[in-house]
């Protein structure tokens, strides 16, 4: 007798976290850390871009009582300096996108000019895209 195993339901991110993932997906550094691939970067802005989620640990997500998962900036901030200097700039950038006031209060300062001095073209383009299309989580 064979038993059929039901597929595990996918975890559902809350709206703000989903939006943050879409912003992060435009940076190859953040996309790798978040475990996502942007399927259609040139899709219409009115629609959420398609993402493919890889099976990677995301210890900076926390499950809410309603079952949705949310970005935890304090847990994420623990990763800021466990990487190269310019990867660190991108991590600080996404924390400032998430909540600039909280980032400032906690000392998670993103220096745009210092970052631009050494970021590769792909990460500069991710920041430029966000500046052209400022969507907020």
Q: Are 72 and 64 in contact (CB under 8 A)?
A: no
CB 92 within 8 A of CB 108: yes
Q: What's the pLDDT at 134?
A: 86
Q: Output the pLDDT for position 50.
A: 83
How many whole angstroms separate alpha carbon 78 and alpha carbon 112?
Answer: 21
- Quote the mean pLDDT of the chain: 89
Cα–Cα distance measured from residue 127 to residue 96, given in angstroms and rounded to the nearest whole number: 12
Instruction: Write the pLDDT tens digit of every residue in 67-120.
Output: 999 999 999 999 999 999 999 999 999 999 999 999 999 999 999 999 999 999
Cα–Cα distance measured from residue 65 to residue 52, given in angstroms and rounded to the nearest whole number: 25
pTM: 0.86
Confidence check: pLDDT of 46 > 70: no
Q: What pLDDT does 7 receive? A: 45
């Amino acid at each position: 007798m064979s038993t059929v195993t039901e597929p595990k339901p996918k975890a559902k991110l809350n709206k703000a976290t989903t939006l943050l993932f879409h912003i992060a997906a435009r940076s190859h550094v953040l996309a790798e850390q978040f475990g996502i691939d942007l399927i259609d970067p040139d899709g219409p802005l009115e629609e959420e871009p398609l993402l493919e989620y890889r099976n990677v640990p995301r210890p900076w997500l926390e499950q809410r009582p309603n079952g949705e998962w949310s970005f935890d900036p304090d847990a994420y901030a623990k990763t800021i300096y466990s990487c190269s200097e310019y990867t660190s700039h991108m991590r600080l950038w996404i924390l400032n996108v998430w909540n600039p006031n909280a980032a400032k209060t906690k000392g998670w300062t993103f220096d745009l000019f210092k970052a631009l001095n050494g970021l590769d073209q792909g990460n500069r383009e991710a920041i430029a895209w966000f500046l052209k299309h400022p969507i907020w989580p």
